[in-house]
Amino acid sequence: MLLTYRLANIMKLSVHHDNIYEFSDFLSVDELKSLRDMIDGFPADQESWTRLDSPPFWIGKVYVYGNNEPLISIEQKLESLFNTCSETVFNSIIDFQRTLPTDEPMEMHRDIIGHSDLKYGLVLYLNDDYLGGEISYPDYSLDIKPTAGMVVVHEANVLHGVLPIHGGSPRYILTNFVRCPHDHGQCELKIKTI
């Protein structure tokens, strides 16, 4: 199932399944440039891109940056996609994630494991100048080739991973998660309630 909508004449929404959504052109050209400028200022060595508390399915590819105005603005933009209640929590975006062509790809996993209140995982793509690196949903026989500025949203119980990168530039992403102790209806993507 693939349904496509145009939202506010800016971003395009593709519904791949009732729990996997792709927002093309979510980030503006200026937002992408600002984020790429930040990345260009980061050290390139692998040690700088390692975080000890990275999940076991993706070790050694995170650069902790900290929160700043462009990241806070993007967090608010992500939050605007959801109907929320007073107990809904969005993680702060404080780190950038990088995968080199020589790195092992992210293994298949479900975001909800160990987090019963996790409702959605969100992946923002900062570049697309690499070969491979698709986000893969094996239960739906679905691979999505990222484009710069896209955000993919999936429910936290959906099995997913990343296919290997075969060449080109490193793959850069930001991630966020939506947590809510209530049933999905209280912290739902707005598009699901239209």
13, part of any domain: no
142, part of any domain: yes
Residue 63's CATH number: 2.60.120.620
Q: CA nearest 108: which of 154, 163, 62, 59?
A: 163
Number of domain units in the chain: 1
- pLDDT tens-digit readout, 12-32: 888 898 899 999 999 999 999
9, part of any domain: no
Q: CA nearest 64: which of 175, 160, 164?
A: 175
- pLDDT tens-digit readout, 137-156: 999 999 999 999 999 999 99
Q: CA nearest 54: which of 2, 14, 103?
A: 103
61, part of any domain: yes
Q: What is the DSSP letter of 192?
A: G
Range of the domain at 44: 28-149+156-193
Q: What is the mean pLDDT of residues 120-128?
A: 95
Q: What's the 3-state SS for 71-130?
A: HHHHHHHHHCCECCCCCCEECCCCEEEEECCCCCCCCCECCCCCCCCEEEEEEEECCCCE
